[in-house]
């Protein structure tokens, strides 16, 4: 029997087992992949080590073990639709993994896996099955005979070692890059492990839940290279590596003797918390399968929502935030199916924090923000759900009026996508109205939306071919001894000018020896002081200059000049300066001066240091829940996104701006420190969501104000910023606000413009600048008084018009109708006018129109007796409004409509008469 029962014990024993075998215990990375535009979320343990496997990064260890937060909600790794109906699919899960970066390989990996499963965890060997790569003639790769023999040596039953094709047992990072055979470990969960009639080979990678995959060992031993159009070759890696992954949820189910992952201690506390909030019977989860599905959806989704929000992925309509919104709203919808009528997720999430906070302390630190964001999003969803119900009612009414019996799929999808209105509810409403839903068209619209969401913007990023090309350029420069293995010497912190030499010239993706006047390309230098875009700070621009005679101090005349428009690092170690040859021709190995645009850099530094001050003062003013969620540091402005769930008031903004300026006027020192990451965090340094940090980090400290991990360029003292001024504050996503601001000369220019405008307004109102506020207030009071008088006179005029009501009444089949255009400036007065006419007509229909703000509006009101006779104001406006290019709705007694074409307003009112005449 398994020796470990609780999920905490399983996780702990896994990490301790490998730590005892020389593996560094590496904390889980954020769910947001650092520097990888190809992924929405981290979906496996190896993602944070990708650069290590590619040989682009080095760390102090060559073996690692992790319990990694993971999400699978997009692309080929998409379990979203299966969550709930399936007993073992999840959006959020924990991936246990051990890794070797050119250290041990197959022999140790297989031995470790066997020892852990059989000796440490006590799993029965006869229940274990092992799959290996069967070989592939097309790729020229033989079967993995080594893995087969190694499994036999550790004690595996030879009849339980099965061969599978590339589809099941060959792993690729992408179309190119590291790849290799893998060996999966499967586990038989039935009651007769000793009987081959039950514990059967065909269950492995087969249908059903009898035998399931437990652990995947990936042996990276090849590098797949693109050598021509759609032609690839496999080359052996100089240092083969190992990447393994085992889902904690499945392991817990096996160790705890459960057929469903949801019946383990990872999920049952959440299910129980949900049940208790409902005051449902104790076995509610187990008694009715349909309710069990909803419990499973909630249990899975609240875990996902908790960790997504903690990692800075707030609900929104785009990218990762859209996934958070989709998951949260699906959980809320299933809560309604169980019986919740009010927001409840923020009362279930504390159970997730309590159960998982010890392993992942970030959810404890972010507790209040998680709960607040979740509640506000659920409240917003319930509101949009009601709006969706209203819209669906209108759609059904219009379709029935046309004699249609099917709700179009695109309309059903619009309800789902815009309002979060589920298809099953649309189906239910359709059934109540003897209608159907075009579900095929709905699914088509859904697939199109999924395809669009998969195209996560990769602007400025490289595809696999471009990445490989950059890597080949770097390798070629090293082969020519133009660059050392460490690459370009990079130091943007000491100076804005450096003497160096050209080690490579790139034109159209190819290394060349020369770049001529007016040609565009990239120069690679041995050393550079140009900053490469990172952490929100944009790249430096400037010039690279070759002087005819570098021996003279004044360095003149210029032989050639290359204008640098951008600076990039396509692969670690390779820094390219992109731009245009302005004068002369550049050649490899020539000595040059790399010269950053110093004035531009100085403005960037002002803005970057100001973001640190702003961050600190936001946290002081609004609370420690505030964290940076994005930024832009440019020479002319700064943009700072931060976590906060409500607008920042004008008073708060004023206080924050004053506090930042007070920090500037103190002229405190701004100092960089290079130190171990753990030490920096212990000293209170703040790290940013989604940023990738090495073992040694750069911490910027503003004495007594701020400590942040940051690789950007900064002023030496806060006084160099000069001045700070906030331009705007607003929302960019649910729970994320944005401040735009300027510093230094740009701040002075903004304030100068504001003072000039103030002086101009003072002149216009005939007051001094000091008197403007009082004078404008008095003028506004005068205008308000006159507006009230105008409104009073309009009402008096309206009453007099009503006295001539008999001249406006039309009689249609015994029904009195008024269809008349009135002169009113607002919807409010249009409704008042309607009430006056209705009170005078006694019995009848009042249809009034008006042109308000150049747009036609109409209102239809019915007296009570006509309601009893079956007349409906809503049907009347829906039949009339399209004539003026609009639509409307309301209630049977009162309905309104708007349009686009004011010239058709009278025609729309005339249609009221036709509708009434045609209804009898």
For residue 413, which of 444, 383, 391 has the smallest C-alpha distance? 444
- The pair of structure tokens assigned to 867 is 């309601």
Residues in contact with 795: Cβ distance below 8 Å, sequence separation at least 6, in sequence order: 829, 832
Residues in contact with 56: Cβ distance below 8 Å, sequence separation at least 6, in sequence order: 571, 572, 573
CA atoms within 13 A on the CB side of 374: 30
Residue 760 has φ and ψ, to the nearest 5°, of -65, -45
Lowest mean pLDDT among 49-63, 109-123, 240-254: 49-63
Contact predicate 603/635, CB 8 Å: yes
Lowest mean pLDDT among 86-95, 549-558, 601-610, 782-791: 549-558
Q: pTM for the whole thing?
A: 0.70
The predicted structure's pLDDT at residue 555: 57
Distance CA 308, CA 302 (A): 10
Mean pLDDT of 690-708: 86
Mean pLDDT of 129-135: 96
Polymer length of the chain: 920
Per-residue confidence band for 805, with pLDDT thresholds at 50, 70 and 90: confident
Mean pLDDT of 114-143: 94
Distance CA 408, CA 54 (A): 49
Burial state string for 505-523 with b = 16 or more CB within 10 A and e = fewer than 16 = bbeeeebbeebeeebebbb
The predicted structure's pLDDT at residue 38: 62
Per-residue confidence band for 461, with pLDDT thresholds at 50, 70 and 90: very low
Each residue's pLDDT tens digit, 316-344: 877 888 889 889 988 998 998 899 989 99
The predicted structure's pLDDT at residue 663: 97
Per-residue confidence band for 476, with pLDDT thresholds at 50, 70 and 90: confident
Kindly state the DSSP code that residue 804 receives in the 8-state scheme. Answer: T
Per-residue confidence band for 153, with pLDDT thresholds at 50, 70 and 90: very high
Each residue's pLDDT tens digit, 719-768: 999 999 999 999 887 788 999 999 999 999 999 999 999 999 999 999 99
Each residue's pLDDT tens digit, 617-646: 999 999 988 989 889 999 999 999 998 989
3-state secondary structure of 226: strand
Distance CA 877, CA 587 (A): 76
Contact predicate 689/628, CB 8 Å: yes
DSSP codes joined into one string, 370-400? HHHHHHHHHHHHHHHHHHHHHHHHHHHHHHH
- pLDDT higher than threshold 70 for residue 690: no
Per-residue confidence band for 688, with pLDDT thresholds at 50, 70 and 90: confident
| pLDDT above 70: percentage of residues in the chain | 94
Kindly state the DSSP code that residue 40 receives in the 8-state scheme. Answer: S
Each residue's pLDDT tens digit, 863-876: 999 998 889 999 99
Mean pLDDT of 823-838: 88
- pLDDT higher than threshold 50 for residue 456: no
Q: What is the mean pLDDT of the chain?
A: 89
- pLDDT higher than threshold 50 for residue 683: yes
> How distant, in Å, are the alpha carbons of 46, 520, 647, 746, 749 from that of 753?
53, 39, 26, 11, 6
Question: What H or E segment, with its residue span, contains residue 760?
Answer: helix 744-764
Distance CA 625, CA 509 (A): 46
The predicted structure's pLDDT at residue 465: 56
Each residue's pLDDT tens digit, 573-608: 899 999 999 999 999 999 999 999 999 999 999 999
Per-residue confidence band for 799, with pLDDT thresholds at 50, 70 and 90: confident
- pLDDT higher than threshold 90 for residue 417: no
Mean pLDDT of 371-396: 86
The predicted structure's pLDDT at residue 1: 52
The predicted structure's pLDDT at residue 848: 94
Per-residue confidence band for 453, with pLDDT thresholds at 50, 70 and 90: very low
| 901-904 CB contacts, 8 Å cutoff, 24+ apart | 901/856, 902/851, 902/854, 902/855, 902/856, 904/856
Distance CA 83, CA 87 (A): 8
Cα radius of gyration (the chain): 35
Mean pLDDT of 480-509: 90
301: which strand partners? none
Per-residue confidence band for 467, with pLDDT thresholds at 50, 70 and 90: low
| pLDDT above 90: percentage of residues in the chain | 58
- pLDDT higher than threshold 60 for residue 458: no
Each residue's pLDDT tens digit, 556-567: 689 999 999 999
- The pair of structure tokens assigned to 310 is 């903690």
Mean pLDDT of 189-218: 88
The predicted structure's pLDDT at residue 460: 38
The predicted structure's pLDDT at residue 556: 63
Per-residue confidence band for 204, with pLDDT thresholds at 50, 70 and 90: very high
């Amino acid at each position: 029997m398994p020796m470990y029962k609780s999920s905490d014990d399983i996780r702990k024993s896994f990490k301790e087992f490998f730590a005892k075998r020389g593996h560094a215990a590496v904390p889980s990375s954020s769910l947001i992949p650092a520097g990888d535009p190809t992924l929405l979320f981290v979906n496996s343990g190896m993602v944070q080590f990708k650069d290590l496997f590619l040989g682009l990064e080095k760390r102090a260890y060559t073996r690692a073990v992790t319990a990694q937060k993971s999400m699978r909600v997009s692309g080929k790794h998409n379990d979203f639709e299966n969550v709930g109906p399936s007993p073992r699919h999840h959006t959020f899960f924990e991936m246990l993994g051990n890794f070797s970066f050119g250290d041990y390989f197959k022999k140790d990996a297989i031995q470790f896996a066997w020892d852990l499963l059989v000796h440490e965890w006590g799993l029965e060997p006869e229940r274990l099955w092992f799959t290996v790569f069967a070989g592939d003639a097309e790729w020229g790769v033989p079967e993995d005979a080594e893995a087969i023999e190694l499994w036999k040596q550790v004690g595996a039953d030879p009849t339980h070692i099965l061969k599978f094709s590339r589809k099941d047992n060959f792993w690729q990072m992408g179309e190119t890059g590291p790849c290799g055979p893998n060996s999966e470990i499967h586990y038989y969960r039935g009651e007769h492990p000793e009987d081959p009639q039950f514990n059967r080979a065909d269950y492995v990678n087969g249908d059903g839940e009898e035998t399931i995959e437990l652990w995947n060992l990936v042996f990276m031993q090849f590098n797949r290279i693109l050598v021509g159009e759609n032609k690839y070759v496999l080359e052996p890696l100089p240092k083969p590596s190992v990447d393994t992954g085992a889902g904690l949820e499945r392991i817990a189910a096996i160790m705890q003797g459960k057929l469903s992952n949801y019946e383990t201690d990872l999920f049952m506390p959440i299910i129980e918390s949900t049940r208790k909030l409902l005051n449902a019977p104790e076995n509610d989860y187990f008694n009715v399968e349909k309710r069990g599905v909803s419990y499973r959806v909630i249990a899975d989704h609240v875990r996902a929502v908790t960790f997504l929000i903690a990692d800075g992925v707030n609900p929104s309509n785009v990218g990762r935030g859209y996934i958070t919104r989709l998951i949260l709203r699906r959980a809320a919808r299933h809560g309604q199916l169980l019986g919740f009528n009010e927001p409840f997720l923020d009362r279930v999430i504390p159970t997730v924090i309590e159960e998982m906070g010890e392993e992942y302390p970030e959810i404890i630190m972010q507790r209040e923000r998680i709960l607040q964001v979740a509640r506000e999003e659920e409240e917003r969803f319930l509101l949009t759900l009601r709006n969706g119900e209203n819209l669906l009612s209108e759609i059904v009414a219009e379709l029935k009026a046309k004699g249609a019996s099917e709700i179009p799929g695109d309309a059903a999808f619009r309800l789902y996508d815009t309002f979060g209105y589920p298809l099953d509810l649309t189906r239910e409403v359709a059934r109540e109205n003897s209608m159907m839903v075009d579900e095929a068209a709905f699914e088509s619209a859904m697939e199109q939306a999924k395809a669009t969401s998969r195209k996560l913007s990769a602007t400025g990023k490289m595809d696999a071919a471009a990445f490989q090309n950059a890597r080949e350029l770097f390798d070629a420069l090293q082969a020519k001894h133009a660059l050392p293995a460490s690459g370009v010497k990079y130091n943007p912190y000491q100076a804005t000018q450096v003497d160096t030499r050209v080690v490579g010239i790139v034109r159209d993706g190819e290394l060349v020896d020369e770049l001529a006047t007016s040609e565009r390309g990239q120069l690679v230098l041995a050393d550079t002081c140009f900053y490469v875009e990172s952490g929100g700070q944009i790249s430096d621009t400037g010039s690279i200059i070759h002087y005819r005679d570098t021996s003279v101090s004044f360095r003149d005349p210029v032989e050639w000049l290359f204008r640098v428009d951008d600076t990039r690092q396509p692969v670690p170690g390779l820094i390219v300066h992109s731009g245009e040859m302005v004068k002369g021709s550049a050649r490899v190995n020539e000595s040059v001066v790399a010269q950053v645009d110093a004035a531009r850099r100085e403005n960037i530094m002002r803005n970057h240091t100001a973001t640190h001050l702003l961050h600190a003062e936001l946290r002081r003013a609004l609370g420690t829940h505030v964290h940076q969620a994005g930024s832009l540091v440019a020479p002319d402005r700064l943009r700072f996104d931060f976590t906060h769930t409500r607008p920042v008031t004008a008073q708060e903004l004023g206080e924050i701006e004053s506090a930042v300026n007070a920090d500037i006027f103190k002229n405190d020192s701004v100092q960089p420190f290079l130190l171990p990451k753990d030490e920096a965090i212990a000293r209170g340094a703040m790290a940013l969501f989604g940023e990738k940090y090495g073992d040694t980090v750069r911490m910027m400290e503003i004495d007594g104000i701020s400590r942040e991990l940051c690789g950007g360029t900064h002023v030496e003292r806060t006084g160099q910023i000069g001045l700070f001024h906030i331009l705007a504050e607003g929302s960019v996503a649910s729970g994320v606000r944005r401040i735009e601001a300027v510093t230094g000369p740009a701040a002075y220019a903004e304030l100068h413009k504001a003072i000039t405008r103030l002086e101009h307004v003072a002149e216009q109102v005939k007051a001094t600048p000091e008197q403007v506020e009082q004078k404008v207030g008095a003028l506004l009071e005068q205008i308000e008084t006159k507006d009230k008088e105008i409104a009073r006179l309009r009402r008096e005029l309206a009453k007099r018009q009503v006295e001539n009501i008999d001249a406006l009444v039309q009689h249609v089949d015994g029904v009195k109708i008024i269809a008349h255009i009135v002169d009113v400036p607002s919807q409010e007065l249009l409704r008042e006018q309607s009430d006056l006419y209705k009170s005078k007509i006694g019995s009848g229909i009042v249809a009034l129109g008006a042109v308000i703000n150049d747009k036609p509006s109409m209102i239809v009101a019915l007296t009570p007796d006509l309601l009893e006779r079956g007349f409906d104001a809503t049907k009347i406006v829906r039949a009339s409004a399209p004539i003026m290019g609009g639509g409307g709705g309301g209630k049977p007694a009162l309905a309104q409509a708007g349009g686009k074409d004011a010239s058709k307003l009278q025609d729309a009112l005339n249609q009221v008469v036709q509708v009434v005449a045609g209804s009898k």
